[in-house]
Copies of this chain bind each other. A is one copy, B any other.
Amino acid sequence: MTEMPSGGGMNERRRARLRLEISREAARLFWEQGVAATSGDQIAKAVGLSTRTIWRHFRNKESCAEPVVMQGVAGLLGMVRSWPRERSLEDHLAAELAGLGDKTPPVDLADQTLAMKMIRLADTEPALRSAWLMAYDQVERELCVISGDRLGHLGSDLEGRMHAAAATAVIRVLDEHLGAAVLTGADLSELADAEAVSRCFAHAIRVATGGALGDPID
> For chain A, what secondary structure do more than half of its interface residues adopt (helix, strand, loop), or is it mixed?
helix
- When each residue 139-170 of chain A gets 1 if its CB lies under 8 Å from chain B and 0 otherwise, what string results? 00000000000000000001001100110111
**Residues of the B chain whose Cβ atoms lie less than 8 Å from the Cβ of A130:** 130-131, 133-134
Contact of A173 among B59, B126, B162, B210 (CB under 8 A): B162
Number of copies: 2
Contact of A133 among B134, B207, B209 (CB under 8 A): B134
> Nearest B residue to A131 by beta-carbon distance?
B130
**Residues of the B chain whose Cβ atoms lie less than 8 Å from the Cβ of A63:** 126
**Residues of the B chain whose Cβ atoms lie less than 8 Å from the Cβ of A204:** 162
Contact of A177 among B131, B133, B134, B158 (CB under 8 A): B158
Contact of A162 among B129, B170, B209 (CB under 8 A): B170
**Cβ of A197 < 8 Å from any Cβ of B?**
no
**Residues of the B chain whose Cβ atoms lie less than 8 Å from the Cβ of A134:** 126, 129-130, 133
Interface positions of A from 173 to 198, Cβ below 8 Å from B = 173-174, 177
Instruction: With A130-B130, A158-B177, A177-B158 as known contacts, state yes or no: A208 contacts B166, CB within 8 Å.
Output: yes
> Nearest B residue to A136 by beta-carbon distance?
B133
> Nearest B residue to A200 by beta-carbon distance?
B158
**Residues of the B chain whose Cβ atoms lie less than 8 Å from the Cβ of A207:** 162, 166, 209-210
**Cβ of A21 < 8 Å from any Cβ of B?**
no
> Nearest B residue to A160 by beta-carbon distance?
B173
Report yes or no: B165 in contact with A173, Cβ–Cβ below 8 A: yes
**Residues of the B chain whose Cβ atoms lie less than 8 Å from the Cβ of A127:** 59-60
Bound together, the chains give a CA A183 to CA B208 distance in angstroms of 29
Report yes or no: B173 in contact with A161, Cβ–Cβ below 8 A: yes
**Cβ of A172 < 8 Å from any Cβ of B?**
yes
Report yes or no: B165 in contact with A170, Cβ–Cβ below 8 A: yes
**Cβ of A137 < 8 Å from any Cβ of B?**
yes
> Nearest B residue to A172 by beta-carbon distance?
B165
Bound together, the chains give a CA A143 to CA B99 distance in angstroms of 39
Bound together, the chains give a CA A69 to CA B215 distance in angstroms of 36
